[in-house]
Chains A and B, each alone.
Chain A
């Protein structure tokens, strides 16, 4: 129990470079005997364990919600992970930023389709971006250090079936009721 807590305390909700966002301990594979640390008197145990990690694979399709839009693209978040970015070129062709609405618009044949804030969307994972968040040393005057998120997903919503779920799931309502 103590081992589990310490592992979770150290890794839970944190990003390891090239590994992903750690969720929690999955299981312990092995643990050594407790060794008493020199000078501290604390007990150290070497452990081998498996961890549940959030790292969607390339081309995985996921759900999320739009959190905000800018002329360059759309930010998406899930409840637990905020760094999801859709650049403009990965939206359907003919999409542009509507400055009055503050959201992206897709000019489809059927009319204007809005990527509204907070809408549930389906998207495909394209790339991942890693930024080592190791400390960069003392702040120097005049040099702005840009804060980057350690793990960011670049995703697309250009294929049919992608984007707000309500666009695609609405048409089949009648059919599904018959089946049910």
Chain B
């Protein structure tokens, strides 16, 4: 194995997400149209994909679909044009690529959250610019349903806590983190 180029490009969560979804569709098509062999079954090697890929795929999709990720919204607020439009609208300011990626991944809706994305936001942008950038984000990327998002987040937290409690009650030890 030889690595020709490391990090030739950075992808946003949305791009990875679409890749995984497309891949899933492709695989299910294969399953659907797979030719049956003599015994009337589809050969295993045609239908089955590597297990390690499957595990990671499942976990990644779960991660993307968990609030407060923008991809957790239904329908997904982004489409193929979103990234291009956002870049066009943000051209007025000097914003690095990494910062745009974070915008797409986190979708900040408040100045506090915008502040976490930009380094030294106050010195780089005036107050008007800051609100204008926020406006662009909400216009292009949409606004999350804040209440529902927080609810979903809290619900999952409760479920996880409950699971941990149950595990303890069963006499099993809580999974220990390896550091």
A residues contacting B by CB (< 8 A) are 1, 5, 8-9, 12-14, 16, 18-19, 23-24, 26, 48, 50, 52-53, 55, 57, 59-63, 65, 67-68, 75, 78-80, 82, 85, 116-120, 122, 124, 147, 149, 159-162, 165-166, 168-170, 172-173, 176-177, 179-180
Indicate if the CB atoms of B115 and A117 lie closer than 8 Å: no
Q: Which residues of A contact B62 (CB under 8 A)?
A: 79-80
Contacts of B153 in A (CB 8 A): 120, 165-166
Are B52 and A14 in contact (CB-based, < 8 A)?
yes
Q: Cα distance A61–B63 when bound, in Å?
A: 15
A118 x B56 contact (CB < 8 A): no
Known contacts A120-B157, A166-B154; decide if A180 and B145 are in contact (CB<8 Å): yes
Q: How many A-B residue pairs have CB under 8 A?
A: 139
- Chain B residues near A (Cβ < 8 Å): 3-4, 6-8, 10-11, 16, 19-20, 23, 30, 49-50, 52-53, 55-57, 59-60, 62-63, 66-69, 98, 101-102, 105-106, 109-110, 112-113, 115-117, 119, 138, 143-147, 149-150, 153-154, 156-157, 160-161, 164, 174, 177-179
How far does the alpha carbon of A179 sit from the alpha carbon of B106 in the complex, in Å?
19
Q: In whole angstroms, how far apart are the Cα atoms of A170 and B112 in the complex?
A: 12
A75 to B52, CA, bound (A): 24
Contacts A13-B53, A63-B106, A79-B66: A161 and B59 contacting too (C-beta < 8 A)? no
Asked if residues B117 and A61 are in contact (CB atoms below 8 Å), the reply is yes
Majority-rule SS of A interface residues:
mixed
Q: Is the CB of B68 within 8 A of A63?
A: yes
Subset of 9 A-B contacts with CB under 8 Å = A9-B53, A13-B56, A55-B7, A59-B119, A61-B102, A120-B68, A166-B154, A169-B150, A176-B144
The answer to whether B6 and A18 touch across the interface, beta carbons within 8 angstroms, is: yes
Given the interface contacts A165-B68, A172-B110, A176-B109, does A118 sit within 8 Å of B146 by beta carbon? no
- When the two chains form their complex, are residues B179 and A12 in contact, meaning their CB atoms are under 8 A apart? no
CB distance from A116 to the nearest CB of B (A): 8
Contact across chains for B109 and A24 when beta carbons are under 8 A apart: no
Q: Which residues of B contact A79 (CB under 8 A)?
A: 59-60, 62-63, 66
Task: State which of B23, B98, B109 has its C-beta within 8 Å of the C-beta of A172.
Answer: B109
